[in-house]
Amino acid sequence: MGIRPLFTADQIAARVEVLAGQIAMTIPGDFVVVGLLKGAAVFVADLVRALDRAGAVPEIEFMRLSSYGLAKESSGTPRLRGEVPADLSGRRVLLVDDIVDTGRSLGHAAWLLRQRRIGSLWTCTLIDKPERREVAVAVDLAGFRIGDVFVAGYGTDYAEKYRHLPYIGIVG
């Protein structure tokens, strides 16, 4: 199994900068970035620093859902591992994931956050795969839209490999 470059580190950095500008314009006042571990960790780290350049002042939280494990296919309903961040009641939240595929992970995370009576919710993903959607979920901001391919790098993995890569590639 190898990896073929799809988006370079420079292309990702340029998109992150644009996304941060859009977020700063879209979300008024203070808000909390909630990243989904582990995939969104690298994206969130770059996004929050771009948000600073865009004039936003986000807080940062993370939550973790069960993952694909070693497979490329999503396995049923994702489950929460650990806790939903505390004290989000009434807060504006930007939920951030690395990839939206079937929509189950983002949909479930959004549902968990709404249970906590957050104020408003926006969603952002670095990569959207609209063709793969099985569950309707609102994606407010997406960095890249791609077809039905499996990618890794820049935080995203294939069987825990490739997360450290500065670029995103197609696994195959």
* Shortest Å, Cβ 114 to Mg ion: 19
Among 58, 122, 156, 169, binds ligand IMP (CB under 6 A): 156
Told to check if 35 binds ligand IMP by CB under 6 A, we report no
Site string for ligand IMP, 79-118 (x = CB under 6 A): ------------------xxxxxxxxx-------------
Kindly report the backbone phi and psi dihedral angles of residue 86, in degrees, each rounded to the nearest multiple of 5, phi listed first: -80, 165
Q: What span, in angstroms and rounded, lies between the C-alpha atoms of 48 and 37?
A: 15
Name the one residue in this structure whose structure tokens are 């350049």.
53
State the binding partner of 150 from Mg ion, ligand IMP, none, CB within 5 to 8 A by kind: ligand IMP
Name the one residue in this structure whose structure tokens are 């986000």.
58
- Could you say which of 46, 101, 128, 157 is catalytic? 101
Structure tokens at 47: 């996004």
CB 8 within 8 A of CB 169: no
Active site residues: 101
